[in-house]
């Protein structure tokens, strides 16, 4: 896992996120950029680059942009949309998870967008 400061540096290196798009369109844009501009974005990372690092960087970049633009509702939606993925990660580490308590209503389909961004 990347140190949070390195993650923020990489998210900043991703460049400006277009503000005139929907949140999902901005996420797709960021997901595509991390795949097409790896050398420019991740030059500071001194560990093997993987999907987890690229995914976190793209989501962080969009979250930072939403926060700077004064869109706290978008930041909250990103956080909410990450909860199911965090629960899955916890389960894979052997931590019991009550999936019935996770509200997925209105979540952004992050994995679907991530896969679309790989093309």
The Cα 14–Cα 37 span in angstroms is: 8
> What is the model's pLDDT at position 1?
65
The Cα 116–Cα 118 span in angstroms is: 5
> What is the model's pLDDT at position 12?
85
Residue 105: pLDDT band (50, 70, 90) is: very high
Q: Which of 46-50, 70-74, 102-106 has the lowest mean pLDDT?
A: 46-50
Per DSSP, the three-state class of 94 is coil
Say if residue 4's pLDDT is above 90.
Answer: no
pTM of the complete model beyond 0.85: yes
Query: Which residues, 6 or more positions from 55, have their beta carbon under 8 angstroms from its beta carbon?
Result: 31, 34, 110, 114
CB 61 within 8 A of CB 11: yes
Give the domain ranges of the chain.
Answer: 4-117
**Tokens at 90, concatenated:** 């916890």
Q: What is the pLDDT of residues 70-89, one digit of tens each?
A: 999 999 999 999 999 999 99
């Amino acid at each position: 896992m990347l140190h949070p400061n390195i993650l923020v540096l990489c998210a900043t290196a991703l460049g400006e996120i277009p503000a005139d798009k929907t949140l999902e369109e901005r996420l797709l844009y960021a997901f595509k950029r991390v795949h097409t501009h790896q050398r420019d974005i991740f030059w500071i990372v001194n560990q093997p680059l993987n999907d987890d690092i690229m995914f976190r960087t793209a989501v962080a970049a969009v979250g930072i942009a939403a926060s700077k633009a004064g869109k706290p509702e978008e930041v909250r939606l990103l956080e909410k949309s990450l909860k199911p993925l965090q629960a899955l990660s916890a389960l894979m580490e052997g931590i019991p998870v009550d999936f019935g308590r996770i509200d997925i209503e209105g979540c952004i389909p992050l994995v679907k967008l991530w896969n679309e961004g790989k093309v």
